[in-house]
Amino acid sequence: MNGKAPGAPDERQFATWLTERIARYAGRAVDDDEDLSAWGIDSVAMLSLCGDIEERFGPLFDPADLWAHPTVRDLAHHLAMRHGMRRNSGRVRAAFVFTGQGAQHPRMTEGLHRELTAYRRHLGTADEAVAPYLGRSVAGLILGGDERVHQTALTQPALFAVGYALAMTLVEEEGVRPVAVLGHGIGELAAAVVAGALALDDAARLVCARGAFMQYLPSGGGMMATCASPFEAADAAADEPQVTIGAVNAARATVLSGPVEGLERVRERLAAIGIASTFLQVQHAFQSPLMEPVTPRFEAAARHVAGGRPELPYYSTVYGREYDEPLTTAYWTAQITTPVRFADAARRMLAQQGPSHVVEIGPRAVLTPFLRRIAGTRGPECLAVCRGPESDAVHLAGVLSKLDAGPLAEG
């Protein structure tokens, strides 16, 4: 190309245009996977590049997007997504993002269960699938105000059942068809069912085995959310060999996982440099090597689960990208000890799928703030099916209205 992009560029054409323009400022050839810090251009040139992008393609871009998408390839994904959204404005393309552990609370989704026949039915279906492996009704636990919902063996199947029921209410009752799915930690299992990669019964077996084996690990582990970058978090934890990164949720939203005593010391180090942190309501050091004792037993329990290929774009927080291979036992075993690469997966989903809306599926809004930060001010509208304990049919009707779905019939 000669530096002039065509009227309707695709991702490849954006990449070609960006590579040429950045190379001109850098005074050398630039690779499409080369990080921003290696481009060798100063802040004035960066601002000029931002101006070039806006002048050529219109208001698709925030300057902060350079740091959120630091390679030519990532930035081309982002610009193509923005351009596609502008061309298709008014057309609803909803992506589903399933909440992970920590979102649970007693009586979660009580208002929806009370007011919506469809939600009651789908929660009942999930309850029937989970009961043989859990040995009790998860719906009774969820709706009975039982504080044991915070016990790992019960938390994970409870969140799975709620995520499944909420998603099925949107898909089967209201016709909201997701263009892509993504799950945070335990949320990946409900996402896999919606994507057609796992049968409901198989997912129920996996989630119950996962929670039960984790429940009986030694106590003393925990997780801590920080306002640190991954580099800052890792640096603060350098003297704590058992404290590792458990999740990267956004540019400055890193979760650490490990022994509580070590996390406390890291918290003090972060506070000393002005970085806030808070402990999450979990009982173990999830998404860390401290989960290794679980994996042999889980792998044996999951051996006969037949995981298939996703039937719609599935964004893996194990790999931080779209994953179109079968979701086998090996995948679910690796997922137990692997950090949650939520920010990477969400960024790629937004760039590659160009959704008009991103819908958080879970009992309260946990991921929506991160999604808004990743998407930027011109990104898709980010909605939560449940904002929290107060959510009911009226709130869900508002969400459906924004998705051009409904009307919602009350039970």
- Give the model's pLDDT for residue 21: 85
**Separation in Å, CA 155 to CA 76, 138, 149, 197, 238:** 40, 9, 5, 23, 31
- Give the model's pLDDT for residue 164: 98
As to burial, measured by CB atoms within 10 angstroms (0-12 exposed, 13-18 middle, 19+ buried), residue 24 is middle
Q: How confident is the model at residue 406 (pLDDT cuts 50, 70, 90)?
A: low
DSSP 139-156: HHHHHTT-GGGGSHHHHH
Residues of the chain above pLDDT 90, percent: 61
Mean pLDDT of the chain: 88
| Residue of higher predicted confidence among 146 and 407 | 146
**pLDDT tens column, 130-139:** 999 999 999 9
DSSP 358: E
User: What strands lie across the sheet with 277-279, from one edge to the other?
Assistant: 244-250, 253-259, 221-226, 277-279
**pLDDT tens column, 262-300:** 999 999 999 999 999 999 888 889 999 999 999 999 999
Angle, helices 187-194 vs 152-168, to 10°: value is 30
The secondary structure of 261-304, three-state, reads HHHHHHHHHHHHCCCCEEECCCCCCCCCHHHHHHHHHHHHHCCC
Q: Which of 73, 32, 25 is nearest to 52 (CA)?
A: 25
Residues of the chain above pLDDT 70, percent: 92
As to burial, measured by CB atoms within 10 angstroms (0-12 exposed, 13-18 middle, 19+ buried), residue 13 is middle
- Give the model's pLDDT for residue 69: 76
| Residue of higher predicted confidence among 322 and 69 | 322
Torsion over CA: 395, 110, 194, 292 (sign): positive
Task: Report how far residue 341's alpha carbon sits from residue 50's, in angstroms, rounded to the nearest whole number.
Answer: 28
Q: What is the pTM of this model?
A: 0.80
- Give the model's pLDDT for residue 168: 96
DSSP 94-134: EEEEE--TT---TTTTHHHHHH-HHHHHHHHHHHHHHHHHH
**Separation in Å, CA 24 to CA 10, 41, 57:** 22, 10, 18
Compute CA 136 distance to the chain's CA centroid, rounded to the nearest angstrom.
Answer: 29
Mean of pLDDT values over 386-407: 85
Q: How confident is the model at residue 10 (pLDDT cuts 50, 70, 90)?
A: confident
Highest mean pLDDT among 11-15, 25-29, 166-170: 166-170
- Give the model's pLDDT for residue 60: 62
Q: Which tokens go with 67?
A: 């740091």
- Give the model's pLDDT for residue 5: 36
**pLDDT tens column, 20-62:** 888 888 888 888 888 877 788 777 777 788 777 777 776 566 6
- Give the model's pLDDT for residue 82: 67
DSSP 410: P
| Residue of higher predicted confidence among 67 and 229 | 229
